Amino acid sequence: MNTTPNIHAMIVAAGRGSRFGASIAKQYTMLEGQTLLQHSVTRLAYSGHIDNCLLVISADDSTAQQLEFALPISYAVGGAERWQSVQAGVEAISQTGADDSDLVLIHDAARPAVPSSDIDQVIEAAMLEPYGAILATPVADTLKASYQLATSVEESRPHSYTKSTIDRSNMWQAQTPQVFRLGQLKKVLNHVFEHQLSITDEASAFEQLGLPIRLVSGSRQNIKLTYPDDAVLLTAIMALQS
Ligand SMILES: Nc1ccn([C@@H]2O[C@H](COP(=O)(O)OP(=O)(O)OP(=O)(O)O)[C@@H](O)[C@H]2O)c(=O)n1
Ligand SMILES: C[C@](O)(CO)[C@H](O)COP(=O)(O)O
């Protein structure tokens, strides 16, 4: 196993931010004077292992190339689903002549508060793994499975009710960066494509094939801007970190 591989960093920033509901894509929300995307690149720049970054943006993105970033940047065009954007990034990295044993780091533009020490930890863990490693945080709240009950005619939507409590002792919330061996990542993404699977992170593609991905416990400050009220928490975290 190559424990001193080249590392190819990509930030996926081709989403629309529909759950956030802003008029502009959420990765261009301003916090502490910069966009989330710029902050995410800067966090990668603080890592001792990364010296350039591929940004995967939407085909109609006219913003990214107007911005200044803390690393040398290259671009690829993303897809309709997040995994397709990752696949576009992987193809762009492969075209640079990267080796299958190199590491590919995938980070969400929507996670600008990731501590650079966490980035270094997940990279250094992946260097010791045949497939990869991801940042994650152990579930801290009680987890409930639910069911829905139709309500009276007057009420428009059914209510949800608790069905059961899920043992959280081995439950984690996945974060990014997620770091994988390039050749292995290409294989599992092809599997996703051939079987028309629906995945929300690349680690789940490895799980589908029973391939081990190491979990690296990360900071709970590494939240993803998803819903409007995440902005309050993220703003406080970024102010605390500055
Ligand atoms: N087709 C997609 C979808 C998502 N992403 C990126 O993946 C990250 C995490 O995805 P998510 O939080 O779901 O972002 P959106 O897809 O933009 O949000 P929503 O699902 O609310 O539309 C984001 O940085 C987003 O830009 C991407 O590059 N390509
Ligand atoms: C990759 C990820 O951030 C790990 O939690 C998450 O799966 C992204 O999911 P989303 O639905 O695309 O936000």
* pLDDT number for residue 2: 75
User: What's the 236 CA to ligand 2 centre distance in angstroms?
Assistant: 21
What does the block give as tokens for 186? 């290409």
Using pLDDT thresholds of 50, 70 and 90, give the confidence band for residue 1: confident
User: What's the 47 CA to ligand 2 centre distance in angstroms?
Assistant: 22
pLDDT at 151 over 80: no
Using pLDDT thresholds of 50, 70 and 90, give the confidence band for residue 125: very high
Measured CA to CA, the distance from residue 11 to residue 106 in angstroms comes to 6
pLDDT at 48 over 90: no
Mean pLDDT of the chain, nearest integer: 96
pLDDT at 3 over 80: no
| Minimum-distance ligand 1 atom for the alpha carbon of 25 | 17
The residue whose C-alpha atom lies closest to atom 12 belonging to ligand 2 is 200
pLDDT at 122 over 90: yes
Pocket residue to mutate for ligand 1, from 35, 53, 57, 108, most atoms within 8 A of Cβ: 108
Nearest residue to 186 (alpha-carbon basis) of 80, 128, 109, 101 = 101
* pLDDT number for residue 4: 81
Measured CA to CA, the distance from residue 227 to residue 189 in angstroms comes to 28
Using pLDDT thresholds of 50, 70 and 90, give the confidence band for residue 152: confident
State the complex-level ipTM: 0.98
Residues 198-222 have pLDDT tens digits of 999 999 999 999 999 999 999 999 9
Rg (CA), the chain: 19
CB of 174 sitting under 6 A from ligand 2: yes
Q: Phi and psi of 123, rounded to 5°?
A: -65, -45
pLDDT at 126 over 90: yes
Q: pLDDT over 70 for what percent of the chain?
A: 100
Residues 26-43 have pLDDT tens digits of 999 999 999 999 999 999
pLDDT at 123 over 90: yes
85-91: average pLDDT: 98
- DSSP letters along the chain, please? --SS--EEEEEEE----TTTT-SS-GGG-EETTEEHHHHHHHHHHHSTT-S-EEEEE-TT--SGGGS--SS-EEEEE--SSHHHHHHHHHHHHHTTT--TTSEEEEEETT-TT--HHHHHHHHHHHTT-SSEEEEEEE--SPEEEEEEE---TTSSSPEEEEEEEE--TT-EEEEEEEEEEHHHHHHHHHHHHHTT---SSTHHHHHHTT---EEEE--TT-----STTHHHHHHHHHHHH-
Q: Phi and psi of 86, rounded to 5°?
A: -60, -45
What does the block give as tokens for 201? 């992170």
